Each structure stands twice: as C-alpha cells, then as structure tokens.
A and B are shown apart, each in its own frame.
Chain A
C-alpha cells in the first residue's frame, strides 16, 4: 500500500552502496558508514514490509477459518467399491452417494433419490428446501430437479448421482470466476495513501535534485552531493508511517470485530467510513428473517402485535371470547412443532420444525398462552388436510372437552370467507351479512397493503349427534362439512424489521449516506418494510403515491417531485444505464424489489457511476459478483454463503444492518485519525530535512545524522503516532456528509503546508537552537560555525581552533558533532511531544477534547522520553549510532519552542472555530 516509500528507500540504499563502492575503490580504508547505512535502509524496507504483511495476514486469518468451504470428502463408487476420497479428486463420470447433512461435492445429475431435499440458498437465495429426483423437469439447469449443485447442502434423504462438472466448471465455480473477473477498484484509502506518497516523494525528489545541483555548483565533490541526496531522501520519507498506518487500521479492525464487523482486508476499514451509498438486502439484514405475527383482526377491529425480537409486550385486548376461539384455532390448526430437548431455550430461539408462517403462529401462541403442546394433546387431532396451493387452506379436526369435534381451518382469507356463513363477534356467532363482508374486505385490504401475509381463520363445532366420538373421518372423501363455517378472524404476518434498524437508518441519513434496499420480495412488501424502517421516510412519496393523491395517471406526475421510488426488477431490466443514472440521481429513497441477484451488479455499477463509494450486502453465491464489484462488499455471517464471504471485504457477524452503521462510524474516525497521524509524522520530516539544507548552504557541521533520523522515525515517533489512532472523534462524525472521493483528500495541501511550513519549520528552528547551544557551550559559537565545514571535516586538521582559542582534534570534533546530533534529536523529540498533543484535535481546543481521555497518548509520550534516554545514555558508547550523553539541562532547551508550537496551534484552532468559512479557516484547517 505504501510501496512508493519503499522504492524511495531502495533508491537511498542503492545510492549508499554506490557511494561506498566509489569510496572503497579510491581508498581501501574508507569508512563503512555508507555501507552500514545502506544495509540499515534495506533492513528497514524489508522489516516494515514484513510487519505490514504480518498485520494484514493476522486480520485475514480471522476469516481464514470461515473460508474453508470446499466439501472435504466424497463417497464415491469406483471399481464397484464404495470409497471415501477427497472431494477434489472427483472426476466427471464418478458416481457419488450423498445423504442428509452432506455438502454436495460436485455438480451431479441425480440417478436415484430417496426423499432427497437440498438447500440451494447459497446459490439462488431461496431458503425453501427443494426436492431432488431423477426426473428432468426443465431446460434450465438451475430449475431442473435432477441436478445437485456443488457446495449446496443435502438436508434430508439420500441420493446417488453422477458427477457432471467439477471445480471451476461447476455452476458455482462459474459464478465465482465471474466474481473474480469483475474488476475491483482500488480502495479509497489506497488511493489516498498513493496521493500522499506522491506528495512526499515529489517533495523529496525535487528538493533532493535542487540541492544536488546546488551542491555541485558549490563545488562539493559529487560523492558528497550523493551523500547529501541520501540524507534528503531519508529525511523526507516517513519510514515509520507504514507501520503506524497498518497498526492503526488493524486496531480499528479489531474494534470493529468486537462490534460484529469482521474486516477481511485492512483497507476496507476506511472504505466503510467513506461509504456514501449502502445497497442493503432486506431479508435478514433489515429484517429479523422470521415471519412474525404483526396484526390481528377480530371483533371488527385491528389489533397490533408486538413484533420486536422477544415479542414480550403483547398489549392488545385479550379479554374477548372471539380472541379465545381464534387462539384455539391458531394453536390447533398448526403442524409446526418445537424440536426436542429445548426446554431451557427461550421461546424465540427455539428451533421449530415447520414452515415460516406456522412457526410464527406457533411461537406467537406459545408466548401468549404457554404450553401449546399440552393443549394439542388435550385436543387430539383426528383428521387433517395439509395446506396445498389448490384448495388454499389447511384443516384439522380435533376432539374437545365437551365430546364435540371441532373443525378448525386456516388459509387464504378470501378462500376461508367463502366457506363461512357466520362470523364471530364478541364470542357470538352472527350471520355474515354485507356489512360484515365489507368490514372484512377493508381489514384485508389494509393489512395486505402493509405488505403483510394475511391468513383467515374459521372453525365449526360439529354437532354431536351427527358426529359421535366413534365417527371415522376420511380426508379423501371429505365426510364432514367444509362450508357454512364460522369466521373468527384474520392474522397477518410479516418479517418484521430488526428493532435497531430504524435508528441506524436515521443515523445513515444524518450522515449523508443513501440507503438503497434491494430485495427479491414483492414491491408492496418491500415498500412496507422500507417505510417501517425509514428507508422511505414518512413524508416522502413515490410517483405512484402522488398519482393516487392527486388522482391523476402515473404518467402525468412530475418525477422530480417524488423523493422515493420503488422499482421492480422488470422495470430495471428495461432501463438503459442513462435512465438508471437518472433514477439514482433524482430519488433519494430507492427500493428495488423483485430483483435478481444479477441485477444487484447493475445497481452497484450505476451507483459507482455517480462517484459514490458503494457498500453492498449479500449472502448468496450469486451475490458475489456484486460484492466484488462494490467498493465494500459485506457478507452475512449467519446466512451468508462461503462464496459470498470470500468475495466480500467484510463479514457482518450478526447479519444486522445496524452493525454496518457502527462500522461506518469507526471507519470515519480512522480517516480523521489517519489525518492526525500523517500530520504528526510529516511535521518532523522538515526538522530532519532542514539540517541537510543548512549544512549544504551554510557549511555548518552536520546537525543531525542519517542514523539518528531513522531513530526518530522508527523509534521515538512510532508509539505516539499509533496512539493517535485511539483518539476519540472531535464532534459527531455521523452528522457530516460522507467524504467526497475527489475533494476531501486524506492529505490535502492545508495539511501538508501546515505540517511542513508551519510546525515543521518551527521545529527545525527549535532543533537548530538546541544544536547551536550544544556547540556554543563547548566553545564553538554560532558565528564561527558558518562555513566551517571544509576545515571541520578534514581528517588531517587536528588542531582546529574554537571561539576561545582552544584546539580540537578530529575525533574531538566528531564527538562534539554527535553531541550536536543528540541535542537536535532531543529537541525534535521534545517538540514532537508538543506535536502529538496538538494533533489530538484538528479544530477543538485540547481542553475540549480532554488531555487525559486518550491514555495511549501518554504511553506514547513516555515511550518517546524513555527511548531518547536509553539512546543518549547506554547507546552512546556505540560509535556508529552516534549518540552521546547530554546534560540534563539541555533536554529542556527546546521546551520554549514546544510551548510555542502548542500555543500557536491553539491560536489556529481558536480562529478556525471563531471564524468558520474565513480565509483562515480555508487555509489552516486540514
């Protein structure tokens, strides 16, 4: 990611080696300094590279465990024998056997099946188990019943099949390779870092070349000029930044993992923060992914049920006798059952055998009444007709306490109503007259309009004389009445939104993020859910709504008036890319309904044409191209297929949309904090660079050595810069617009100028003050130092006179030079303490932010001081490191400058806060 710096450092290292070789060929006893520096630079490049790789790998590993998707073993019949072989050894033509629980090891054509049902949800998104048989039923391989797909699961039954495709040639493999062929754009943070590297490299190279030329013009030897060039490059490259950025990103990744966002690729952390459009699935992400009773209609009144996750607060009126009858039907006319051995599991979490609606009704009655199974046992079922799409109802007959049989029925409301002649009202049967029918129609339409699945319930007590308890019911001949029943009520079901989603959507809206819902559901249901979670806000209308309100045809409505739009897959298919762009531009609230997963890709591409950073959620295998194409693909941890998880950049462990929003918050925070980290890191580059420039121009002894620079960049500055990653947000970051990819740069010119030309220069001046002090107190006053260099570096001059008439040998001067390095180093370190404190905020005062809220900053400052102390005491004896021990008082030389840095930055922030939008704000806020 930060490859640009490595190449600069490689260039520096190569220059070092060249310089050494030139020196060596001239004089065998040439100093090893350049060779040593070259080796150190190579080590720095390699180690920081390895470190970044390790960090990246560590966070990728989290996902590694999940990604083992491939079926491991397959039971194959070869040479007449059953063998278990690794699935990847299967070849076309092999006969394999599968049973319930297995993953299908390849695409197979079913030869023989015993009640084999497969879960194709990872492929098609349909979660209903599908029967497999050996009958060819459709031209399309995805539709026909005699094909089992690679990586799908066999739920029950057994089957034998012949392998027809393996590996990449399987249906799933083709989708996956489609996913990998979808071009993935560079992540925004990679673009930003690249931009930043360009700036820094540009500065380094141009200053380097200018001063190389100046040095040549000033009649320095070419070799010296090359060594200056190395110094300039080294000073300009923030060697520690790679490590700091990677660590900060992985810290954020860890924090996000705690909030259920598992980030596979570190850069995705920030991508999430710059997201401007989220294309979200409905089922499971916005909704709870389970049918739940939403409304009830009885006694000519609509009651609302609690649809929250635990359904504890059922507040409707339960005193009516009609309700008692309805509850009885709900309980009895239901084939769903709790799985065994779940006594201690809360009702909502119990596993139920049965379809979604029956499960919802079973749990609903269990919550309200408790012990449904007991009631069913008391009212033994004597006959039953299961639901089928022909008669559209389900019926069962039960024994009751008073010896009469009770016939209960539920089904499509209009079908049920047809069979009724009376309706129950307050527990009393009344004839089903026109007004009752009208009331039913109104309620039915209303509930249907809410996008809910409505069921009608009716019952009939069979007369005891006609049906004595010995009566034998026959469901084939229907020897019992199925008309003139008594209608009891309606219950409507919906997959309700997750309770924290509406808040998350509001947060997105205030954060300027557009949420687009993409679902395979019916438009009405989709729209209802969109309204209930706020994707379509309460006061906005679609074109259809406006047409209805104004009572004009849809075509006459001005499309621009409608904020919201519900677009079906069919409409989308007809649209040209320009029309789609138009749609995405003009409507802020969009729902795509009845879309196929393939259309997701089209939607994503449309959004990306608007220069948006698009996050897409998905779970199916066929979502993977869209996940890949999206700037950030988000796979579902529970419902998601492995292929989706592999294609995605992030996995949502709880499948919850709200987690995306917390992830976005973290991503935005890290963008801000990366700015702070970079500003902090860049500042001292100038303080490292100026010594070389002054050295060349004013001919003073070198104020700071290259090795010392490395100790600042990779020593004292590392921990404070990482500590900035822990900084809290300055203001509500979810209240501003997503950053504009092309306008809000990570490193803008304000940041560069302020770091380089303000604080950086201030630091340099402070450093030079320390440097001049270190020389002056030993006898070399500043005026003497100017243009002293030729004499200073001459090995044969061992009696160089200082300002007091004393004479110095070369080694004594060297030692003083190292003291100068150390003084400069300590001065930079002290001022970097001020720097890390001012970088805590970009606009607020330090006191608003709190000096002690981020404890890591103090750890960082302590580390700076400790490293500096260690270097200047213990390591002073290692000559190549060029540190000496500094008297305690000279550690404080730069303190006035550190205070000025802090005061100046407070002043800057104060003016920005006071005069927003002013010239100062525009030029000083980074």
Chain B
C-alpha cells in the first residue's frame, strides 16, 4: 500500500549524512554556512555572557545582604546535634587488640583533634572564664567586635587526655576513650542557664550489660555554660569546643555494643524521631580480644 516509504539503502543514508556534515554545494557545515555559524556562535557568546553577568550581579546583591558573623536564619539548628571523636566509618569504634593498626588510625585522629586543646595553647590564646556562667560578649557599639574564647584544657580530660599516656587513650588496652562533642550553633545558649551534662547508656538491655563501667571526664560529663554562646567562625576565632570524654573500662569483648550518649539540658530536646543525632549520638563499640 505505502509505496512512498521505500527503504533507503545504507549507502544513501551514509551519503545524506555526509552531505549534512559537509555540503560542498552550499558550503554548509552541519546545515549552516560559515557566516551562519559565526553569527550563531557570536549570538550565544553574547547571550550567555549576558546571563553570566545577570547571575553574577544577582548573586552579588544577594551576598551583600548576608551578615559576616551570623547567618540570616538558623531554621534547622534549633537542636544541636552530638557527634563522637574519633569519627569512624559507620560510627563503629573497632579496637582489635592483636592488631595495632586497627586502632592506630583512631589514635592519630585523636592526637590531631586534641592538639589545639593543649594547655599551653589554651593559656596562650584563650581566657580563663567564670565557670557556671555564659561568657557573653556584646558588641557594645563596636560592630562585630572580635570575641574571646574560654579555655578548655586538655588536662581536664583526665585519663582521656592522652598526655603522657602509654595506653594511647586506652586503645592499646581495650579501654578506649570516646570523645563527645556538641555541634556549634551561633548564639545558642545551651542549657538555658542551668547545668548540663552528657550521659551514656547501652542502647538495649544486653548492650547495657556488655557496656560495663565507664568513666567520664570532666566529671559527670558536665559541660560548662562558659563555652556558650558561640559567636561564629569569623569573630570567635579561637573558640574551643567543650568535650566530654568517656572511657569504657571493661567492655565485653568480641560483641558489638550499641552505645547512646545524650545531652541533658533544659533547652535541648533529644527525642526527635527523625533526626537521630539531635542532642544525642549513637555509636558502636567493639573490642576484639583473642
């Protein structure tokens, strides 16, 4: 029936393609002459230059509206999250006593992480603040006046300070220290003027049994109010984040222990269903001993 749709031979198709790519008769490359190509390229050059300029301009205007020291909104940061050091893959602290390589990397991370907490550096850069009180530093008319930070000395971490510690934060003996830190949020008055501390528990019953004893540094896992509020990276230059170290003394070896630490503070909710790290942190401990 359909006679007009004769199949083109492959040669014809190839020929048509060739002609499309370069047509010697009309001197067209891909269906356009040289001038046409020049025009179209010029046009797109101009058009996209214009777009780039427009984008740059609007971005510039937008960035002008931002403050340097505090973001415009902190919608998502009402509840600071908790996190552990060493941050391991899958948040599993694995210590294989017969394989020093398994924990060496944790120790290296911690050494580096704790270096700024050295007492000498703290004494040199930061103030000694009044415990139990917020260290508020209003601008007092001077815009974005640089802020001072309070000292958090490594020695406060006691057995977990790693200072002159042959056990490498207890990792070599199977009594590892895990450091808990609370996320920085600008102008957040953690604890709402009341004391707060970090507590840890085994997640399930068996975890609680397997977890065994642990010690907390500073004592009770307290976090002092003087480290708050935080004024932001740019103006709170040497801000030292308070830490709570947990030393697990006798974890049942060769089982996976689920630990959950949470902060007990009046103004930090720790029961967000969807955000598993809001005011709390869950991690696994596994000590392998043969």
Q: Cα distance A815–B74 when bound, in Å?
A: 12
Q: Cα distance A778–B39 when bound, in Å?
A: 43
Whether a CB of chain B sits under 8 angstroms from the CB of A785 is: no
B111 nearest CB across to chain A (Å) = 19
The answer to whether B91 and A806 touch across the interface, beta carbons within 8 angstroms, is no
The answer to whether B83 and A811 touch across the interface, beta carbons within 8 angstroms, is no
Q: A797-B87, A815-B76 are in contact. Are A804 and B69 (CB under 8 A)?
A: yes
A782 nearest CB across to chain B (Å) = 7
Closest chain B residue to A182, Cβ basis: B1
Q: A798-B81, A805-B230 are in contact. Are A778 and B72 (CB under 8 A)?
A: yes
> Which residues of A723-776 have CB atoms within 8 Å of chain B's CB atoms?
757-758, 761-762, 765, 768-769, 772-773, 776
Whether a CB of chain B sits under 8 angstroms from the CB of A481 is: no
The answer to whether B55 and A769 touch across the interface, beta carbons within 8 angstroms, is yes
**A772: contacting residue among B44, B62, B90, B186, CB under 8 A:** B62
- Which chain B positions have C-beta within 8 A of A797? 87
> Which residues of B66-106 have CB atoms within 8 Å of chain A's CB atoms?
66, 69-77, 80-83, 87, 89-91
B135 nearest CB across to chain A (Å) = 16
Whether a CB of chain B sits under 8 angstroms from the CB of A896 is: yes
Q: Cα distance A804–B67 when bound, in Å?
A: 10
Whether a CB of chain A sits under 8 angstroms from the CB of B192 is: no
B150 nearest CB across to chain A (Å) = 16
Whether a CB of chain A sits under 8 angstroms from the CB of B278 is: yes
Whether a CB of chain B sits under 8 angstroms from the CB of A36 is: no
The answer to whether B73 and A796 touch across the interface, beta carbons within 8 angstroms, is no
- Which chain A positions have C-beta within 8 A of B90? 796
- Which chain A positions have C-beta within 8 A of B186? 804-806
Q: Cα distance A817–B156 when bound, in Å?
A: 38
- Which chain B positions have C-beta within 8 A of A762? 51
**B62: contacting residue among A769, A812, A819, CB under 8 A:** A769
Q: A798-B277, A805-B232, A900-B54 are in contact. Are A781 and B63 (CB under 8 A)?
A: yes
Q: Cα distance A334–B91 when bound, in Å?
A: 109
Q: Cα distance A809–B270 when bound, in Å?
A: 13
Q: A183-B1, A769-B59, A796-B89 are in contact. Are A809 and B73 (CB under 8 A)?
A: no
Q: Cα distance A778–B54 when bound, in Å?
A: 23
The answer to whether A804 and B234 touch across the interface, beta carbons within 8 angstroms, is yes
A554 nearest CB across to chain B (Å) = 34
Whether a CB of chain A sits under 8 angstroms from the CB of B226 is: no
Whether a CB of chain A sits under 8 angstroms from the CB of B117 is: no
> Which residues of B158-204 have CB atoms within 8 Å of chain A's CB atoms?
181, 183-186
The answer to whether B183 and A799 touch across the interface, beta carbons within 8 angstroms, is yes
Whether a CB of chain B sits under 8 angstroms from the CB of A856 is: no
Q: Cα distance A738–B130 when bound, in Å?
A: 88
Whether a CB of chain A sits under 8 angstroms from the CB of B236 is: yes
The answer to whether A778 and B73 touch across the interface, beta carbons within 8 angstroms, is yes
Whether a CB of chain A sits under 8 angstroms from the CB of B228 is: no
The answer to whether A796 and B87 touch across the interface, beta carbons within 8 angstroms, is yes
Closest chain A residue to B272, Cβ basis: A811
Indicate the member of A768, A778, A809, A879 with the most B CB atoms within 10 Å: A809
Q: A765-B54, A778-B72, A807-B80 are in contact. Are A798 and B281 (CB under 8 A)?
A: yes
The answer to whether B66 and A776 touch across the interface, beta carbons within 8 angstroms, is yes
B67 nearest CB across to chain A (Å) = 9
The answer to whether A757 and B44 touch across the interface, beta carbons within 8 angstroms, is yes
The answer to whether A804 and B233 touch across the interface, beta carbons within 8 angstroms, is yes
The answer to whether B239 and A773 touch across the interface, beta carbons within 8 angstroms, is no
> Which residues of B199-218 have CB atoms within 8 Å of chain A's CB atoms?
none
- Which chain B positions have C-beta within 8 A of A806? 71, 74, 77, 183-186, 230, 232
> Which residues of A661-684 have CB atoms within 8 Å of chain B's CB atoms?
none
- Which chain B positions have C-beta within 8 A of A801? 184, 233
The answer to whether A808 and B233 touch across the interface, beta carbons within 8 angstroms, is no
B93 nearest CB across to chain A (Å) = 12
The answer to whether A776 and B63 touch across the interface, beta carbons within 8 angstroms, is yes
The answer to whether A758 and B58 touch across the interface, beta carbons within 8 angstroms, is no
> Which residues of A904-926 have CB atoms within 8 Å of chain B's CB atoms?
919, 923
Whether a CB of chain B sits under 8 angstroms from the CB of A478 is: no
Whether a CB of chain B sits under 8 angstroms from the CB of A557 is: no
Q: Using an 8 Å CB-CB cutoff, how does the interface string of B13-47 with A read, 1 for contact, 0 for none?
A: 00000000000000000000000100110011001
B276 nearest CB across to chain A (Å) = 7
B261 nearest CB across to chain A (Å) = 13
Whether a CB of chain B sits under 8 angstroms from the CB of A304 is: no
- Which chain A positions have C-beta within 8 A of B62? 769, 772-773, 776, 893
Whether a CB of chain A sits under 8 angstroms from the CB of B142 is: no
The answer to whether B76 and A879 touch across the interface, beta carbons within 8 angstroms, is no
Closest chain B residue to A799, Cβ basis: B83
A810 nearest CB across to chain B (Å) = 7
A783 nearest CB across to chain B (Å) = 10
Indicate the member of B43, B75, B90 with the most A CB atoms within 10 Å: B75
Closest chain A residue to B183, Cβ basis: A807
Q: Cα distance A810–B69 when bound, in Å?
A: 23
Whether a CB of chain A sits under 8 angstroms from the CB of B275 is: yes
Whether a CB of chain B sits under 8 angstroms from the CB of A777 is: yes
- Which chain B positions have C-beta within 8 A of A521? none
Closest chain B residue to A811, Cβ basis: B275
A340 nearest CB across to chain B (Å) = 53
**B76: contacting residue among A799, A812, A923, CB under 8 A:** A812
Q: Cα distance A706–B43 when bound, in Å?
A: 33
- Which chain B positions have C-beta within 8 A of A183? 1-2
- Which chain A positions have C-beta within 8 A of B36? 919
The answer to whether A804 and B70 touch across the interface, beta carbons within 8 angstroms, is yes
- Which chain A positions have C-beta within 8 A of B48? 761
Whether a CB of chain A sits under 8 angstroms from the CB of B7 is: no
Indicate the member of A182, A762, A779, A802 with the most B CB atoms within 10 Å: A779
- Which chain A positions have C-beta within 8 A of B43? 923
The answer to whether B74 and A779 touch across the interface, beta carbons within 8 angstroms, is yes
Closest chain B residue to A761, Cβ basis: B51
Q: Cα distance A185–B232 when bound, in Å?
A: 71
Whether a CB of chain B sits under 8 angstroms from the CB of A367 is: no
- Which chain B positions have C-beta within 8 A of A879? 274
The answer to whether A812 and B275 touch across the interface, beta carbons within 8 angstroms, is yes
**A808: contacting residue among B39, B72, B183, B236, CB under 8 A:** B183
**B77: contacting residue among A761, A796, A812, A900, CB under 8 A:** A812
Closest chain B residue to A764, Cβ basis: B51
A503 nearest CB across to chain B (Å) = 36
Q: Cα distance A799–B243 when bound, in Å?
A: 14
Closest chain A residue to B275, Cβ basis: A811
The answer to whether B91 and A805 touch across the interface, beta carbons within 8 angstroms, is no
The answer to whether B276 and A811 touch across the interface, beta carbons within 8 angstroms, is yes
Whether a CB of chain B sits under 8 angstroms from the CB of A816 is: yes
Q: Cα distance A797–B236 when bound, in Å?
A: 23
> Which residues of B254-283 have CB atoms within 8 Å of chain A's CB atoms?
272, 274-278, 281
The answer to whether B59 and A782 touch across the interface, beta carbons within 8 angstroms, is yes
**A810: contacting residue among B54, B239, B272, B277, CB under 8 A:** B277
> Which residues of A163-219 have CB atoms within 8 Å of chain B's CB atoms?
182-183, 185
Q: A769-B58, A772-B62 are in contact. Are A809 and B81 (CB under 8 A)?
A: yes
Q: Which residues of A contact B (CB under 8 A)?
A: 182-183, 185, 757-758, 761-762, 765, 768-769, 772-773, 776-779, 781-782, 796-799, 801-813, 815-816, 819, 879, 887, 893, 896-897, 900, 919, 923
Q: List 26 A-B contacts (CB under 8 A).
A: A183-B1, A758-B47, A761-B48, A761-B51, A762-B51, A768-B55, A773-B62, A778-B71, A778-B76, A796-B89, A797-B87, A802-B71, A804-B71, A805-B184, A805-B186, A806-B183, A807-B80, A807-B185, A809-B277, A809-B278, A810-B275, A811-B275, A812-B81, A813-B76, A896-B58, A923-B43
Please give me the 3 A-B residue pairs with the lowest Cβ-Cβ distance, nearest first: A805-B233, A183-B1, A809-B81
Q: Which residues of B contact A (CB under 8 A)?
A: 1-2, 36, 39-40, 43-44, 47-48, 51, 54-55, 58-59, 62-63, 66, 69-77, 80-83, 87, 89-91, 181, 183-186, 230, 232-234, 236, 239, 272, 274-278, 281
Beyond known contacts A761-B48, A805-B234, A806-B71: 13 more, CB 8 A cutoff: A769-B58, A777-B71, A778-B75, A779-B74, A782-B63, A796-B90, A798-B277, A804-B233, A807-B80, A807-B184, A809-B81, A811-B275, A812-B77
